[in-house]
Amino acid sequence: NLPSDATPVLDVTGKELDSRLSYRIISTFWGALGGDVYLGKSPNSDAPCPDGVFRYNSDVGPSGTPVRFIGSSSDFGPGIFEDELLNIQFDISTAKLCVSYTIWKVGDYDASLGTMLLETGGTIGQADSSWFKIVKSSQFGYNLLYCPVTTPVICPSSSDDRFCSNVGVVHQNGKRRLALVKDNPLEVSFKQVQ
């Protein structure tokens, strides 16, 4: 069951996130510290489709790739709540071949960067490396957490946050790549795609 005190995640206009709508994940900072999250081709990847989760180098320039949030409590309505386990899916039109390249997951350890990179190829609702949470970080933003689970989760509060990792940014071949970090988690907000 969803806790009675569950707090909805809000977009930049103060509206509650809706799993039926698409959003851009944007930085709460401006200029060189800003930049939207987007789907791009991973360096040295032989995948047939873009398969990396990146952030633009500035808030001046292209908009990010739209995403949908698929909550584990979808039986309770379309809302997305803080601390709820969820899947993140790039909301793009795609060839049948690339459908599996839209769900976020955490990849294998990258020894050259000393961390695990976010990529696509996850599965919705499965006990794998595709579970995330949105948690409030400040008055203006949220952090994304990666929360691995080994069994299907019915109750969002049953996951133990001690095993969650912050999502942040590392530099890979001149690009900002989303990855698991110990310090400086990425602070984001959400803007509905019109």
**What CATH number is attached to the domain comprising 150?**
2.80.10.50
- CA distance to 18, 28, 35, 36, 142, per residue, from 60 (Å): 27, 13, 7, 10, 21
- pLDDT of the residue at 162: 62
- Inside any domain, residue 156: yes
Tokens of residue 108, six digits: 């294998």
Residue 16 lies in a domain: no
Q: How many CB atoms lie within 10 A of CB 21?
A: 18
Contacts of 10 (CB under 8 A, 6+ apart): 16, 17, 190
In a domain, 12, yes or no: no
What is the residue range of 167's domain? 23-192
Split into its structural domains, the chain has a count of: 1
| Predicted pLDDT at 3 | 65
pLDDT tens track for 30-66:
888 899 999 999 998 898 899 999 999 988 878 999 9
d(CA 25, CA 69): 11
Asked if residue 47 belongs to a domain, the reply is yes
Report pLDDT for 1: 53
Instruction: Indicate whether 10 belongs to any domain.
Output: no
Domain annotation covers residue 98: yes
pLDDT at 156: 43
Question: What SS3 state is found at 118?
Answer: strand
Tell me if 4 is assigned to some domain.
no
Q: Tell me if 72 is assigned to some domain.
A: yes
What is the full per-residue pLDDT of the chain (194 aa) written as tens digits?
566 778 999 999 999 999 999 999 999 998 888 999 999 999 988 988 999 999 999 888 789 999 999 988 766 678 999 999 999 999 988 767 787 789 999 999 999 999 999 999 998 887 778 999 999 998 889 999 999 875 444 444 444 556 799 999 999 999 999 999 999 999 999 999 98
